Amino acid sequence: MEKDQKSLCSENTKADSDTSEVDLHAGLPYDERVKRGEEIKGEGNALFKENKLSQAIDKYDEAIAMLPLNHPRRSVFLCNRSMCSLKIETPGQALVDANQAIHYDKTNVKAHYRKAIAYYALNKLKEAINALKYITDTLKVKKNKDVNEKMNLLKKMKKERDFLKAIEFQDETDQLDPDSLSIPANYSGPRFDPEGRVSRQWVLDLVEYFKDQKRLHKKYVWMMLKKMTRILDNEQNLNFLEVKDDHVAVDSEEGEEHNLEYKYQQYDSVRYTLPQITVCGDIHGKHPDILFNYYRPVLRSHEHLEYERLPIKIQPIPLQRRLR
């Protein structure tokens, strides 16, 4: 979506000068078209006030098509449609409409303001500032509160961005050779193989090591973080997963079914295979909470999660606490 929006608003866009379109109502009298266009625009305004933005856009489309080509009121209609696009978070289309509105009337302050907001939404701070400067410097609108506040905000944001860019440097850990980190001879904890897979047993061994208040060596921590970074860099920002509704726990030894609500009240020897996913959020570093989440669930394979009632005397943490 972001890529599509940015493609609509390249700096060399021709949208502000391209007004070539088919006149669908060329056979109607000029004055009648203007009157009817204003009426339809009013209907769009009413829908906008009711927050029916998609319907309002349709009305503005109809109103713009009704007006004679190159009629100056098109600037107002396009400006209204630009506002709707900003509201539904399509800043690329909002920018196109704002540029066209400016083409019909370069003194339309609202159109320049819409243009600035669209650039801001597209993270183009320099262009947004220039659009506001046109209002204050060229159109001589000096005392508009919204314009001045937005100008100050954008200048501050740009200054902070420029500062962060100026102090950028390459992460030293990117150049670090893990072989240069020596491991003491008395280190008895789990060892991480960056080329191998993290097995279930390795995770359990790590948990036991943590229970003794010991730490994984920093060499392996660094190697795990780098490997995880490479994995996540190849993942999409948003993934979809279909989960079936037959959430029934089955005793793997006796074949007896249990309701999920009671899965934590069974004997320690009972093991369950569940079509369920547990999302672990910020648990504020509490050691018992960490151990609980490490023990259950334990990754068995890429196809399912295996839940075990391990011989550990710890009460299940309420959902609201785990997600807090």
- pLDDT beyond 90 at 155: yes
Average pLDDT over residues 189-203: 81
Rounded to whole angstroms, how far apart are CA atoms 208 and 43? Answer: 68
- pLDDT beyond 90 at 82: yes
8 Å CB contact between 129 and 158: yes
Give the per-residue pLDDT at 229.
82
Q: For the stretch 268-289, what's the b/e string if a residue is b when 16 or more beta carbons lie within 10 angstroms of its beta carbon?
A: eebbbebeeeeeeeebeeeeeb
Per residue in 48-64, pLDDT (tens digit) is: 999 999 999 999 999 99
Average pLDDT over residues 28-44: 93
Q: Comparing C-alpha atoms, which of 227, 214, 235, 215 is closest to residue 173?
A: 227
Per residue in 85-125, pLDDT (tens digit) is: 999 999 999 999 999 999 999 999 999 999 999 999 999 99
Annotate 61-110 with three-state secondary structure. Answer: HHHHHHCCCCCCCHHHHHHHHHHHHHHCCCHHHHHHHHHHHHHHCCCCHH
Give the per-residue pLDDT at 211.
83
Domain with residues 2-166, CATH architecture: Alpha Horseshoe (1.25)
**What is the domain partition of the chain in residue ranges?**
2-166, 175-233, 249-322
- Which tokens is 312 given? 């550990």
8 Å CB contact between 305 and 274: yes
